[in-house]
Amino acid sequence: MPELPEVETVVRSLAPHLTGRTILEASFSSKLVVRQDFGELSGHLRGQQIHSVRRHGKFILFDLDQGSLAIHLGMTGKLLLDAAGSRHARAVFELDGGSLTYDDPRQFGRIEWDAGVPVRVAALGPDALAISVEEFVEALRARRGRVKAVLLDQRFIRGLGNIYVDEALHAARIHPRAVAARIGGERARRLHAAFVRILRLAIEHKGSSISDYVDAGGNRGSFQLMHQVYGREGEPCGNCGTPVRRIVLAQRGTHYCPRCQRV
DNA sequence: TCAAATGTTTGATC
DNA sequence: GGATCAAACATTTG
């Protein structure tokens, strides 16, 4: 479920309920989602107060008395407050006032506690909503790969995913197969402006609910209704009416307008 | 039955 | 050695 706007929405829906709460008990049931020893992890978390809940790229970070808990939602992860019956609960946190359930059918998500900053978290590039135009243009110039793959690389910038990369490239009228380094300064600036605008707009609409994405309260987002190309293969481009094309690039379904977006 | 799905890691190959 | 690309992970849905 998760790209920057969805994770941001989850954090915003979670924070008022979790800040200041104490973890009474934590239980786990997936060795794919939780790679640490279940008993040890429960021991680390028991009695810890949650000081803050933050988004870091697509990660959700709980700052605790000691260290931090990093949660990545993968493709289908959901964090639910006081969930009645969730079909694929992989972790449950009992708090002093409510419970938090991590539900994830595909188990691509991860939950990890670290005394400092989790390694996976530390390796990420600047946040897509924080990187300056100059820094972005400069960094893009140094990449030989296709712009779609580069934007998806979380070490390059963190937060963008398949939906918002396709939408941003369409808005900036850049072909997803274009080589990053060969995108000129003007078009690179246009691309930066496009993803910043789209990410902010998507946050306002509480993210895109493509299949089953919901925030911590079980609410769906509505930005999927505003998608111009993602999931719209064969439908007319909003700019020129040409049917939107779908190809596979960087091993992801990639949607673009063959007329508006040129290499 | 087959294809595809909001993502990342790992290993091979340049 | 760094960068880039394909395969793998597990499950559901159309």
pLDDT digits over A171-186, tens only? 999 999 999 999 989 9
Which nucleotide minimizes the distance between its C1' and the CA of A153? B8
Amino acid identity for residue A35 in this structure: R
CA to C1' distance (Å), from A155 to C3: 13
Residue nearest the C1' of B3 (CA based): A253
Q: Which of residues A120 and A75 earns the better pLDDT score?
A: A75
pLDDT at position A8: 98
Distances (CA, A) of A156 to A33, A85, A125, A135, A152: 25, 38, 5, 11, 8
| Chain A residues 164-203 within 7 Å (CB) of strand B | none
pLDDT of residue A120 exceeding 90, the answer is no
Q: Where are the beta strands (DSSP E) in A133-176?
A: none
- DSSP designation for A242: P
Contact A172, A228 (CB under 8 A): no
CA to C1' distance (Å), from A92 to B9: 25
pLDDT digits (tens, 9 = 90+) for A241-251: 999 999 999 99
A173 is catalytic: no
Q: Point out the catalytic residue in the list A2, A5, A118, A176.
A: A2
pLDDT at position A85: 74
Answer yes or no: is A252 CB < 7 A from strand B.
yes
pLDDT at position A146: 95
pLDDT of residue A121 exceeding 90, the answer is no
- DSSP designation for A45: H
Q: Which of residues A123 and A110 earns the better pLDDT score?
A: A110
A6 is catalytic: no
Amino acid identity for residue A162 in this structure: N
Residue nearest the C1' of C6 (CA based): A251
pLDDT at position A1: 65
- DSSP designation for A244: P
pLDDT at position A11: 98
A252 is catalytic: yes
pLDDT at position A124: 94
Q: Mean pLDDT lowest for which of A56-60, A93-97, A114-118, A203-207?
A: A114-118
Sign (positive or negative) of CA dihedral A23, A29, A34, A38: positive
Which nucleotide minimizes the distance between its C1' and the CA of A230? B6
Q: Which of residues A113 and A121 earns the better pLDDT score?
A: A113
Q: Point out the catalytic residue in the list A6, A8, A21, A58.
A: A58
Answer yes or no: is A213 CB < 7 A from strand B.
yes
A2 is catalytic: yes
Answer yes or no: is A109 CB < 7 A from strand B.
no
Cα A76 to Cα A1: distance, rounded to the nearest angstrom: 5
Mean pLDDT of A19-33: 97
Q: Point out the catalytic residue in the list A105, A252, A258, A259.
A: A252
pLDDT at position A111: 97
Split at pLDDT 50, 70, 90, the class of A90 is very high
